[in-house]
């Protein structure tokens, strides 16, 4: 099925090549330069470099230090893990607005178990069970939402919007709306939360491993191929005998699983569930994924682009703090960047359709 979609693009390219080589204005633009201009990851990387250069010049000696780089990487680690899952979801032309609430629910479930089995002094056995609980709760919620999308034919926007409220409501009912004390074991915090290997925080290492693994899954496995194909043409995929509904359940289950992993990373890093602290996680993650070149219309995207896209809001937030911009302007800036990214994505789509 994906072979068909890959054959369409070269055909279109062949139709465009002759005019470029036959004189006129097109001859002044080298082919390699046109191809480079069409690479979303390249443009995203250029934006990232421009932001780094701007803040480095605006705050000499205060930005782009080793401490800043480490903090940016640590702050981006959880959003990168969430962004990997969101990349798969958006490639299928779906969306998941519930990720922040699912993270909270998974953290609360794991935290409540930890509280009743040792609290901060809990042993490694309890830590392992807490990790399994967080992953299971996240994956289970994702599978549930995926099943509703696949079998109920309810738009993902509505399903996950409802999931956002429901997951957060359950977490608040379980805790009375308050962050429970002792939700994270000291062992978890001292290892994954604050530990380092070769000077690199374990949180960053874990995010890098997740990114590498699922980057390979998307680019070099049947699961990734089917994900891209469903986003491009779900009707053709069904005719090819591929279970679109089953695959969507797996994709949303993966998103939930990574939200559960994000809950573990959050507990390790901050030691609390932060029930009220994840209301804009979906905005940040979707912004990063779209900035990375993944199309909201589905069928196109890469984990590499998401990696670059995640660091743009992270650099933007840190840079605004360094130059003394009020904290509330950070969300405004991220929102503006999201709208701009979607606009650029629409322009690219129209250009491809007219080609």
* 183-194 pLDDT, tens digit each: 999 999 999 999
pLDDT mean over 165-184:
94
pLDDT of residue 21: 43
Which pair of tokens denotes residue 219?
């680019």
- pLDDT grade for 347, boundaries at 50, 70 and 90: confident
Per the model's pLDDT, the better-predicted residue between 321 and 354 turns out to be 321
pLDDT at residue 353 tops 70? no
Which pair of tokens denotes residue 188?
């978890």
Report d(CA 126, CA 176) in Å as an integer. Answer: 24
How much of the chain, in percent, has pLDDT values that exceed 90? 57
Contact 198, 188 (CB under 8 A): no
Report d(CA 99, CA 104) in Å as an integer. Answer: 9
Report d(CA 193, CA 185) in Å as an integer. Answer: 11
Is 97 exposed, middle or buried (CB count within 10 Å of its CB: 0-12, 13-18, 19+)? Answer: buried
pLDDT at residue 29 tops 70? no
CA atoms within 13 A on the CB side of 24: 7
Lowest average pLDDT, out of 9-13, 205-209, 309-313, goes to 9-13
pLDDT of residue 25: 43
pLDDT digits (tens, 9 = 90+) for 211-255: 999 999 999 999 999 999 999 999 999 999 989 999 999 999 999
pLDDT mean over 24-46:
55
- pLDDT grade for 312, boundaries at 50, 70 and 90: confident
pLDDT of residue 333: 78
pLDDT at residue 124 tops 60? yes
Contact 240, 175 (CB under 8 A): no
pLDDT of residue 293: 85
- pLDDT grade for 79, boundaries at 50, 70 and 90: very high
pLDDT of residue 27: 42
Output the average pLDDT for the chain: 85
Please state the pTM of the whole predicted model. Answer: 0.84
Contact 317, 337 (CB under 8 A): no
pLDDT at residue 346 tops 90? no
pLDDT digits (tens, 9 = 90+) for 46-64: 888 888 898 889 888 788 7
pLDDT mean over 326-335:
76
pLDDT of residue 34: 43
Report d(CA 297, CA 262) in Å as an integer. Answer: 26
- pLDDT grade for 330, boundaries at 50, 70 and 90: confident
Report d(CA 136, CA 157) in Å as an integer. Answer: 23
């Amino acid at each position: 099925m994906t072979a068909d979609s890959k054959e369409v693009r070269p055909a279109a390219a062949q139709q465009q090549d002759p005019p470029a080589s036959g004189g006129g204005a097109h001859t002044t633009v080298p082919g390699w330069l046109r191809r480079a201009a069409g690479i979303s990851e390249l443009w995203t990387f250029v934006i990232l470099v421009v932001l780094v250069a701007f803040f480095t010049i605006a705050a000499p000696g205060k930005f782009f230090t080793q401490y800043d780089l480490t903090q940016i990487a640590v702050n981006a680690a959880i959003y990168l893990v969430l962004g990997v899952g969101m990349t798969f979801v958006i490639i299928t032309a779906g969306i998941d607005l519930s990720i922040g609430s699912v993270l909270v629910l998974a953290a609360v479930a794991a935290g409540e178990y930890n509280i009743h089995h040792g609290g901060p002094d809990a042993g490694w056995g309890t830590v392992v069970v807490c990790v399994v609980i967080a992953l299971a709760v996240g994956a289970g919620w994702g599978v549930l939402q995926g099943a509703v999308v696949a079998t109920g034919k309810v738009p993902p926007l509505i399903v996950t919007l409802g999931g956002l409220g429901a997951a957060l409501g359950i977490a608040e009912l379980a805790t009375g709306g308050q962050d429970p004390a002792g939700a994270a074991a000291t062992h978890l915090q001292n290892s994954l939360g604050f530990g380092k290997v070769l000077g690199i925080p374990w949180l960053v290492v874990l995010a890098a491993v997740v990114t590498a693994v699922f980057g390979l899954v998307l680019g070099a496995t049947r699961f990734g191929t089917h994900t891209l194909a469903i986003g491009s043409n779900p009707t053709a995929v069904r005719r090819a005998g591929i279970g679109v509904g089953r695959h969507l359940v797996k994709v949303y289950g993966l998103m939930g699983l990574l939200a559960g992993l994000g809950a573990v990373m959050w507990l390790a890093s901050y030691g609390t569930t932060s029930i009220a602290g994840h209301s804009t996680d979906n905005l940040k993650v979707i912004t990063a994924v779209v900035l990375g070149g993944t199309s909201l219309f589905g069928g196109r995207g890469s984990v590499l682009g998401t990696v670059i896209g995640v660091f743009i809001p992270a650099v933007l937030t840190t840079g605004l703090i360094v130059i003394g911009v009020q904290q509330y302007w950070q969300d405004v800036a991220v929102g503006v960047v999201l709208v701009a990214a979607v606009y650029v994505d629409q322009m690219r789509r129209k250009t491809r359709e007219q080609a």
